[in-house]
Amino acid sequence: MLEFRSWRSCSEFVQSVTLQGRYIREASADEFLNAVLATSKSRKKTIREQSYLWRAQLGCDWNDDGHSDEEPRPFSPKRMKPQANMATEGRANPKGIPYLYLASDKETAMAEVRPWVGSLISIGLFRTMRKLVVVDCSADIQEPTIYLGEPTPEEREQAVWSDINGAFSMPVSLTDQKAEYVPTQVIAELFKNNGADGIMYRSAVGKGLNVVLFDLATAEIVNCFLYEAAELSFNFGEIANPYFVRKH
């Protein structure tokens, strides 16, 4: 079975496809992808037909009956699915190729759209239309670890897959450099071209899992609700030593 050369293989791959070449890749990048594909076989998970997942969108539509003030209502079913000609860059999809981003629970789905206090969120319940096979990147999550030497092949594999999950779960913002999406887009395309229906990874902002489906037709909306973000909270933790400025 193919193995990863290093516990840092994922970060090395990120540097390679971001700074060197995405379409004509370095040999080390292709070697990494071969190992990802080989080790993904044990990480495939089945989502049963008629399973339920959630999708959130910031905003809403408005009722205007001509007799009263406009009232908010959830987005239409068409608006709750991405449109091919409007698909922007995402962690998994390149521009113009839409994927369906869902979550295991509505709280995680709403957290993923980064609402602010008072913002309105359309939240739709989706049902899968057939049995789906997804690659689960969340099974190997571990605390950040720095190895002084190369660990065992099993530990290298766990470290790499933990990094893959972290790359997918990294929050997306409008200020992101689009090149940052290239590594995860390449990995997602690898899974897609080898028969997977999607990917699953741990949310960085919610308690649940995110699910990305490659085919928009594999899940259909059942109903849609409208929520308002009433309260937000943040927890901060120091991750580096401070410095002190002295006057001389």
Rounded-to-integer distance, Cα 62 and Cα 31, Å: 52
Based on its alpha-carbon atoms, the radius of gyration of the chain, rounded to whole angstroms, reads: 20
Q: What is the pLDDT of residue 173?
A: 62
The tens digit of pLDDT for each residue in 62-75 reads: 876 655 567 899 99
pLDDT > 90? residue 142: no
- Span 216-235, pLDDT tens digits: 999 999 999 999 998 877 77
Domain ranges, ordered by start, for the chain: 9-228
One-letter identity of residue 116: W
Per-position DSSP letters for 141-195, written without gaps between them: -------SS---HHHHHHHHHHHHHHHHHSPP-TTS-GGGGHHHHHHHHHHHHTT
Q: Quote the pLDDT of residue 141.
A: 74
Confidence of residue 247 (pLDDT cuts 50, 70, 90): confident
Which tokens hold the place of 30? Answer: 């292709």
Average pLDDT value over all residues in the chain: 89
Name the 3-class secondary structure at 17. Answer: helix
| pLDDT per residue as tens digits for the range 196-206 | 999 999 998 88
Which pTM does this prediction carry?
Answer: 0.88
pLDDT tens readout for residues 42-91: 999 999 999 999 999 999 998 766 555 678 999 999 999 998 777 888 89
Query: What gap in Å lies between CA 13 and CA 140, rounded to an integer?
Result: 18
Distance CA 96, CA 85 (A): 6
